[in-house]
Amino acid sequence: MNETTVTTTSPANKKPLIAIVGATGVGKTGAAIRLARKIDGEVVSADSRYLYRGMNIGTATPTEEEMVGVPHHLINILDPVDNYSLTLYQRDAMAAVDCVQQRGRVPILAGGTPLYVNALLEGWRIPEVPPDRDFRAEMEKLALSEGASTLHDRLGTVDPAAAARIPAANVRRVIRALEIHHHTGQRMSEIEGKDPPPFRTLRIGLTLPREELYQLVDARIERLIANGFVEEVRELLRQGVSSEAPSMSAIGYPEIVAFIQGNVTLDEATQRMKFHTHRYVRHQLTWLKRMDAVHWFDPRVRDWFDQIERLAYEFLAT
């Protein structure tokens, strides 16, 4: 642990929330369940992969046995064909946190989806503008035919502040800003922002050297294959879930679909899963470096969980 005293992100008169963050494979879910049993807590997932029913193998969703005795929220709440958004996640997570707190228990946020974690902990104001596929397709076509700078120039006309902070190369983000203005007549830069969340937060981070994380995720992927991941994907396709569904974009599913369709061997699909997961881990590590007020712990240290438990009790007694 780097700090000797509790570092929180909100005034002490607010109700508590504990967040456990870290890269894929570091052990966030197990630590959250273990801590919940110690402090009368409930786990609120911040993992976009855990939302969908019928995808438990490929997403390594915690099993019923692992979750026994600890209520979990935002796990297996959607069908694989359902659409979901950051706005909906923030709404559902806030409702889950409030529900747990109203019962006098401690919500423990656990997950590695950066947008989900940040939206909740930082109180993001998210424009409630649903995706417009036709508008996006039109803008993407324009970017391809006339260049990304054309879109960026258009954004500079309607929302100079957004254009100043979004590089022209980030076409997806430029299109989103244009989409918001197109539907609301308002500038994204004026709608977006942050409001202090209605809870005080203790941020606990789990960390391991990058190469060890790679070894952990590689071993996990091998277990997924051995535990029937290919059969899970076959069943989803048999049920009519499109390979283009948002749920099927999670790492592993496109690779296994390619195998099922005969485009790659199983070994090639497995290696691609490992490569893409390694890249995602690097993305998570970059995000984690930017987080403030995090108490970091190394799971290789003998008493790492005892330190977390003491820190949590001190935080709750504040």
Domain ranges of the chain: 15-125+195-317, 133-191
CA proximity to 132, closest of 92, 167, 83, 193: 83
Q: What is the CATH number of domain 133-191?
A: 1.10.20.140
Q: Is there a shared CATH topology between the 15-125+195-317 domain and the 133-191 domain?
A: no
DSSP letter at 186? S
pLDDT tens readout for residues 23-75:
999 999 999 999 999 999 999 999 999 999 999 999 999 999 999 999 999 99
Q: What is the pLDDT of residue 308?
A: 98
- The residue with greater pLDDT, 129 or 144, is 144
Write down the CATH superfamily of domain 15-125+195-317: P-loop containing nucleotide triphosphate hydrolases (3.40.50.300)
| b/e per residue 189-227 (b: at least 16 CB within 10 A) | bebeeeeebebbbbbbbbbbeeeebbebbbeebeebbee
The pair phi, psi for residue 153, each rounded to 5°, is: -65, -40
pTM for the structure as a whole: 0.85
pLDDT tens readout for residues 91-112:
999 999 999 999 999 999 999 9
Alpha carbon distance 123, 35 (integer Å): 24
Average pLDDT of span 5-34: 89
